[in-house]
Amino acid sequence: MIRVGVIGVGTVGRSVVKILEENAAIITARAGDAIIVKRGVVRNLEKVRDLGIELSQNPDDIINDPEIDIVVELMGGVDEPFRILKSALANGKSVVTANKALLAYHRYELQEIAGDIPFEFEASVAGGIPIISALREGLSANHILSIMGIMNGTCNYMLTKMMNEGIDFDSILAEAQALGYAEADPTFDIGGFDAAHKLLILASIAYGIDAKPEEILIEGIEGVTQADIAFAKEFGYTIKLLGIAKRDGMEVELRVHAALVKQDAMIGKIDGVMNGISVVGDRVGETLYYGPGAGGDATASAVVANIIDIVRSGKRSPMLGFNHPLEEGLTLKDSGNIRSKYYLRLRISDKPGMLAQITQLFADHTISVETMLQRPYEAQCAHLLFSTHEALESDVCAMIKNLELLDAVLEKPFMIRII
């Protein structure tokens, strides 16, 4: 049994507690040990309810509790969590944090202090996307040539809306604030500072370079207007706020700014609140990682993954991911029971009454047509192209067999499933 203490039980902290509880069976099967949250620390005891864990207001209740193995820091800020996590490490506790500001300033000191004690921070960059482990483990054979990422969902949401709907910056900012995508004081997001913190963390893992926010170029998206959007569209660009790390000889460029990006580049296709990070390695070429960069559950997914990693690390991660099978095993579904929408192509002889005969077969098999196209095809022939509403695979297969028996159907009907 592994015990966790959570410092800061806001949106992400609540999700961490809930995931560990609600997904406990699969997490235990993967981690090889049960994981429970023993205690949470919050600023305001009145605000947190119905979580079923002990709460207090003093971080010492966690970092000095000999039963707690892993400290999860989700309080935000820089100086206070730095002090608290140093004490937690001094007490031999493993640490998981989502705090990018803390790491933007103190990551090398924390690495030094942690030594062999696990200190993980997957959630600090791009929320639920496992980009830290992709860079640190997955691409470790490579010299990283460049990292180019959409690392701030607020900015990407605003720029996407400006591109697609022609709305001006101030209106879209007000809308993003109303939706909760942007803070009341949005400077940290739209000024590029949030993205810069994340970029610095990735740059350390890619290049081993220690840089502080004050040392790099940081610009936001405040100046972008519809005149710029119109120009971008005219020349096949879209506008994105990018964090860029790029190696050039023995130097590394680190910069955050709005950029015109080709619409057909993968990074140009990432829209709305989503994050995406393109990494170019000298051997692997370009890989790209896409997903939700924020939100309680998505961020907590990364926090809990780190907790599982730490629990697993005593032993090795099991080869196929499960330490022991889930109690109730899953079984393979018979392919006849698949439900899908279907596309069907029939080649038919173009005679009266054919269409009625064919559509009757659809009705007989309770398969409902969504769209139909008939197109002439060679002399006296036509292509009949159908898409269906959701149907059962076995019904569709049976209907195809019956369609094939019709004189008017000139070749085996061809089917593609629709996603």
β-strands 144-150, 237-248 pairing: antiparallel
Q: Tell me: does residue 85 bind a second copy (CB under 8 A).
A: no
Q: Which stretch binds a second copy (CB under 8 A): 36-44, 61-69, 156-164, 206-214?
A: 206-214
> Does the annotation mark 86 as catalytic?
no
Q: Indicate the residue among 81 and 292 with the shorter CB distance to a second copy.
A: 292
Q: Which of 10, 87, 318, 392 contacts a second copy by CB under 8 A?
A: 318
CA distances from 276 to 61, 243, 265, 272, 303 (A): 38, 11, 12, 11, 19
Give me the residue label for tokens 């604030």: 177
Q: Tell me: does residue 260 bind a second copy (CB under 8 A).
A: yes
**DSSP letter (8 states) at residue 409:** B
Question: Could you tell me the smallest distance in angstroms from the CB atom of residue 283 to a second copy?
Answer: 4
Distance in angstroms (rounded) separating the CA atoms of residues 274 and 289: 11
Of residues 269 through 288, those in contact with a second copy by CB under 8 A are 269, 281-288
Structure tokens at 419: 């996603």
How many other CB atoms are there within 10 angstroms of residue 411's CB atom?
10
Three-state secondary structure call for residue 92: coil
Each residue 136-165 as x (binds a second copy by CB under 8 A) or -, in order, gives: xxxxxxxx----x-----------------
Length of the chain equals 419
Each residue 329-368 as x (binds a second copy by CB under 8 A) or -, in order, gives: xxxxx-x-xx----x-x-----------------------
Q: Which stretch binds a second copy (CB under 8 A): 77-85, 183-191, 217-225, 349-357?
A: 217-225
Structure tokens at 181: 């995508």
Of residues 10 through 39, those in contact with a second copy by CB under 8 A are 15, 19, 23, 26-27, 29-31
Amino acid at 175: E
Catalytic residue among 198, 233, 269, 341: 198
Question: Could you tell me the smallest distance in angstroms from the CB atom of residue 332 to a second copy?
Answer: 5
Q: How many amino acids of this chain bind a second copy (CB under 8 A)?
A: 131
Question: Could you tell me the smallest distance in angstroms from the CB atom of residue 96 to a second copy?
Answer: 12
How many other CB atoms are there within 10 angstroms of residue 151's CB atom?
31
Q: Which of 66, 235, 352, 379 contacts a second copy by CB under 8 A?
A: 235
Is-contact 243 256, C-beta < 8 A?
A: yes
Question: Could you tell me the smallest distance in angstroms from the CB atom of residue 222 to a second copy?
Answer: 10
Q: Indicate the residue among 61 and 82 with the shorter CB distance to a second copy.
A: 82
Q: Which of 110, 158, 199, 400 contacts a second copy by CB under 8 A?
A: 110
How many other CB atoms are there within 10 angstroms of residue 64's CB atom?
13
* Exposure string over 88-116, b if 16+ CB within 10 A, otherwise e: bbeeebbbbbbbbbbbbbbbeebeebbee
Is-contact 146 267, C-beta < 8 A?
A: no
Distance in angstroms (rounded) separating the CA atoms of residues 355 and 198: 60
Of residues 112 through 141, those in contact with a second copy by CB under 8 A are 114, 116, 118-122, 128-130, 133-141
Closest CA to 188 of 100, 108, 103: 100
Q: Which stretch binds a second copy (CB under 8 A): 42-50, 57-65, 166-174, 230-238?
A: 230-238
Is-contact 240 89, C-beta < 8 A?
A: no
Q: Indicate the residue among 26 and 45 with the shorter CB distance to a second copy.
A: 26
Q: Tell me: does residue 379 bind a second copy (CB under 8 A).
A: no
Terminal CA-CA length for the chain: 42
Q: Tell me: does residue 327 bind a second copy (CB under 8 A).
A: no
Q: Indicate the residue among 3 and 257 with the shorter CB distance to a second copy.
A: 257
Q: Which residues are catalytic?
A: 198
